[in-house]
Each structure stands twice: as C-alpha cells, then as structure tokens.
Amino acid sequence: MSTLGTPCHLFAWWSGAGFLPSRVTSRIGFSKATADEVVLARVGNPLHDEPLETSREICRIVEADRDLFSQLILKPFRSQARYRFAHHSSLDKNETYTCARAIFAGQGSFLEKGCEIARRLYAKSNHPQIKSGDLCIVRVSNLTLESGPTEALCILKSETVDPFLSISSHQGDLRITTEHGINPDRIDKGCLILNVHEDSGYQVLTFDRAGAHARFWLRDFLGVRLLTDDSLLTNQVAGLAVSFLQSDESPAAREDGDVSGQTMAAKRAMSFFENRNHFSMQEFEEEVLRRDPAMVAKFKKYKARFEEAQGHPLADDFGITSKELNRVKKKVGGVMKFDTGVEVRLLPEFQETALERGYDETRGMGYLKIFFNSKES
C-alpha cells in the first residue's frame, strides 16, 4: 500500500443533472451542510495486482470552495432510500459501522479511520469485474433533521474519469489546457452515514449505479439493510403499478399504443390505493389486474426486475400512506402523438369520456373528439 500527499487536485467537480430518486428524503436539510475534512484514496483491484494508495494527511477544502464542494458531494443523496448497518451475529462485527462509530466518537484520528475504511473496501474488491477508482471520505457537519443539526460521514467512489477543458490566465494572457476529473453526476457509488440511531445501525443513504450487478457495495462493504416503512412501500409499490400500467409492457394498452387506455388503467390503480388504508397484493391482482393471467404474469416480471435493481424484495402487505400517493399521482398521464404533428397531453384528472375516437370515410383518416365544459385556459 502506498500513500498520497495532499491530493486535492485529483478531484475536478462540476454541476449538472442529478440522480434519479427511489425515494425523496425531504426530512433532511442539506442547505447548511459543510464538508470539513477529507481523506482520499485510490482503490485498485487486488486480483489485478492494482495497489491501494491512501492519503498521508487530511485534505482540507479551502473556504472559497467549501460551499460548492459540500453541495456537490451531497447532491446524490437528496433522493435516496434509507438503510441501516446490520450483521448476522452482532452489529459490532460490521467493520464499516465500527469505523463510522469511532469517527463520530472522536476515537482515533480521522485520517487513521478513513484509511481503515479504504483498506476494508480494497479487501472487498476481490472480484474480477470490480473496477478500481478514486475514494473520497468526508466529514460533514450541520445536516438538518427534524431533531436538529447532526454530523455525517460521506463515502464516495468514482470509477470513471472524464476529460474537460480549463481556461486560465497566465502571464497576462489566456491559455487552454486539457485535464481529467470526476463528474459529480457520474459518481458510481456512495453512502451518507447520519449520526443518528447509533444503537440500531445509524441511518445510511446509499446508491450504486451498477445496481444488482455489484452487490458487494451494499452487502460486502457496507453491510446494510433497507429501512422499510409504510411511506417507502406506498411510494414504491404505487409508483411501480402506475409505471407498469403506463408502459409498453402493459396489456392495458391496445395494440395501437392507446395512451388513454394506459392512463385510465393507471387511474384505476390509484383509486385502488386511495380507497383503502392497507395494501394487499392479492387484492391488487384481483381488482386492478382483474385476475388476467397474462397481465399478472407481466406485472410480476416487471416487479422482479425492479426488486433486482433495488436489491431488496417488496412487501405484499403494508399500510398505505396518503401523502406518498399524492406524489405518485403526479406521474399519471401521458402524451398522445399523431402523425399530423398534433399532440394531446393527458393529465391525472383525465376522464375517458372526454375523448371520442372515430374514422372519417371521406378523408380516409381517423379523428379524435375532445369534450370540455369551458374554454381552454
């Protein structure tokens, strides 16, 4: 194992589009959060004889860059599901958990514990398909929860480096150079460990762009389990139902790709959730999927792909949370596109009786009537 100097120049950060959420974590405030200290490492794959390089000293972000740096590293965590550390015999045997606990408690130096985390990741990177990458371990303060401000530990791994152009002043003139750096929107893996609920394994927000193909991040390195509650399950299962019924895989649409049929099927699914306090998969299949064997089979395959990507199964029974239904309902609808350059957008309030299809024999063309009660706004 070799060591790095103060390698803050290794990381070039810029903003852009964010990650797609699996759940909105609106109860966490990020606006005042600050990155205080950073430990850096380059983690190779031992099977490929690639080394582990770690920082010789803590990297401190200069004050002028601190706010931007803090928001960029935390951006991926604004909409991730929550997990907790776990272990089959004792939580104290989860090494990533014990490192985080020691850092929060001030036991040992942050540099020492950060390098220990890097060594643990290196030891777990012993599969031929695991890529080498840059590791960034950051102490974060002033995250805001309902209970007040708290600190956190942010761990990011980037397995890709992007080229970019840099224009700068030099001896009274301008020059352009090519450099390589990490795009925050393309960071491959990350976790944010919140210093709350220590005895039950903290709260951990995490993501892995490789999904089910690299379980080592969730299972082997972090050792976390999903924190499931009724809100999360309502969001995921209702969202899954709407997404399926409005997809091309759904038998709800006619062979000609009738968007209105898909939208009405999604509305029936939402009505199913809105009219009860408890979800039952069996009742959903009977009432929404109408006991159609083909539709049920396709939905189960669709659900299985979602579960594989998320890395956890969905419960078949849970309490329904109305607040989450309001979020999912916004996804109902679609756009009807015609070959004459006309598009009709269907909103969640769409009613099937507002449209009438027909065929004009004279023109030899189909038509669509739209009924309404007042003038367009």
- The answer to whether 216 and 94 have CB atoms below 8 angstroms apart is no
Q: Is position 367 within any domain?
A: no
Is 287 found in the same domain as 145?
A: no
Q: Is position 372 within any domain?
A: no
Is 323 found in the same domain as 260?
A: yes
Tell me the pTM. 0.65
Quote the pLDDT of residue 4.
53
Is 236 found in the same domain as 141?
A: no
Is 133 found in the same domain as 8?
A: yes
Domain end, chosen from 212, 227, 242, is at 227
Q: How confident is the model at residue 19 (pLDDT cuts 50, 70, 90)?
A: very low
Position 13 pLDDT exceeds 70: no
Is 267 found in the same domain as 221?
A: no
Angle of helix 322-329 relative to helix 259-274, nearest 10 degrees, comes to 170
Is 254 found in the same domain as 193?
A: no
Q: Is position 198 within any domain?
A: yes
Q: Residue ranges of the alpha helices (H) in 59-149?
A: 63-74, 95-105, 110-124
Domain end, chosen from 165, 198, 227, is at 227
- Rounded Cα–Cα distance for residues 135 and 323 (Å): 37
Cα–Cα distances in angstroms (integers) from residue 268 to residues 112, 221, 273, 353, 355, in the given order: 56, 42, 9, 15, 17
pLDDT in tens, 237-290: 999 999 999 988 876 655 455 788 888 999 999 999 999 999 999 999 999 998
Quote the pLDDT of residue 16.
30
Q: Is position 307 within any domain?
A: yes
Into how many domains does the chain fold? 2
Domain end, chosen from 331, 349, 372, is at 331
Quote the pLDDT of residue 372.
87
Q: Residue ranges of the alpha helices (H) in the chain?
A: 63-74, 95-105, 110-124, 230-245, 259-274, 281-287, 293-310, 322-329
Which stretches of 60-202 are assigned E, i.e. beta strand?
82-85, 133-145, 148-158, 162-170, 173-181, 189-194
Quote the pLDDT of residue 139.
96
pLDDT in tens, 327-366: 999 999 988 889 999 998 888 888 888 888 899 999 999 9
Quote the pLDDT of residue 187.
92
Q: Is position 219 within any domain?
A: yes
Quote the pLDDT of residue 3.
52
Segment 181-188 mean pLDDT: 86
Quote the pLDDT of residue 376.
61
Quote the pLDDT of residue 227.
83
Q: What range defines the domain where residue 168 resides?
A: 2-227
Quote the pLDDT of residue 12.
38
Is 242 found in the same domain as 193?
A: no
Quote the pLDDT of residue 374.
76
Q: Is position 205 within any domain?
A: yes
Mean pLDDT estimate for the chain: 86
Q: What percent of the chain has pLDDT over 90?
A: 56
Q: Is position 177 within any domain?
A: yes
Is 292 found in the same domain as 217?
A: no
- Rounded Cα–Cα distance for residues 336 and 349 (Å): 15
Which of 2-6, 80-84, 316-320 has the weakest average pLDDT?
A: 2-6
Is 106 found in the same domain as 239?
A: no
Is 191 found in the same domain as 170?
A: yes
pLDDT in tens, 131-176: 999 999 999 999 999 889 999 999 999 998 888 888 988 888 999 9
Is 190 found in the same domain as 82?
A: yes
Q: Is position 345 within any domain?
A: no
How many C-beta neighbours within 10 Å does residue 265 have? 23
Is 82 found in the same domain as 12?
A: yes
